[in-house]
Amino acid sequence: MNVRGAERLFPLRHRQGMRNCRENLPIEIEMCRSPMKPAIMKQTILPANQLRALLQAFLTQRGEEYYLHALGYFGSYARNEATPESDVDIVFQTDAPNLFRAARMREELVDVLHRPVDVVRLRESMNPRMKARIEKEAVYV
């Protein structure tokens, strides 16, 4: 969503002179941010041991805030098929699902890993093929 979209959703806050949605809209911030931050994206492959260490540190430091029971990765990084353009597919488990919290966690992981990130909450009621693939590939920290 661009700034004009934020004006339509949050007209009062925008009229109050808030130009940067990141500074003053802590909850709505996820809808204002760009899905990727090209300036911080690296064009290298993140080594598996470094990815695990970064995710372990994130789980240790931020896991309680996000009510995380498990955190891991799957996809090209788990299969050792990652390319410099690959995103990191993150899987997590929680008892307190919340869309805003998941979006905020994704943004923090983008900042930590310096590359695009997709997050998926593993749950009973999800696409069975997707769930089976995640369960087969996932590397938990």
Looking at the structure, tell me whether residues 42 and 72 fall in a common domain.
yes
Question: Domain range spanning residue 7?
Answer: 1-33
- Facing residues of 119 across strands? 90
99-113 confidence digits (pLDDT tens): 999 999 999 999 999
Average pLDDT over residues 26-31: 34
Q: pTM of the entire structure?
A: 0.71
Looking at the structure, tell me whether residues 88 and 41 fall in a common domain.
yes
Looking at the structure, tell me whether residues 90 and 126 fall in a common domain.
yes
Residue 35 pLDDT = 52
Average pLDDT over residues 112-135: 96
Least confident of 23-32, 41-50, 76-85: 23-32
Looking at the structure, tell me whether residues 26 and 40 fall in a common domain.
no
Looking at the structure, tell me whether residues 6 and 66 fall in a common domain.
no
Domain containing 123 — which CATH number?
3.30.460.10
Measured at the alpha carbon of residue 49, what is the angle toward residues 43 and 53, in degrees to the nearest 5?
100
Alpha-carbon gap, residue 85 to 80, rounded angstroms: 14
Measured at the alpha carbon of residue 41, what is the angle toward residues 48 and 136, in degrees to the nearest 5?
35
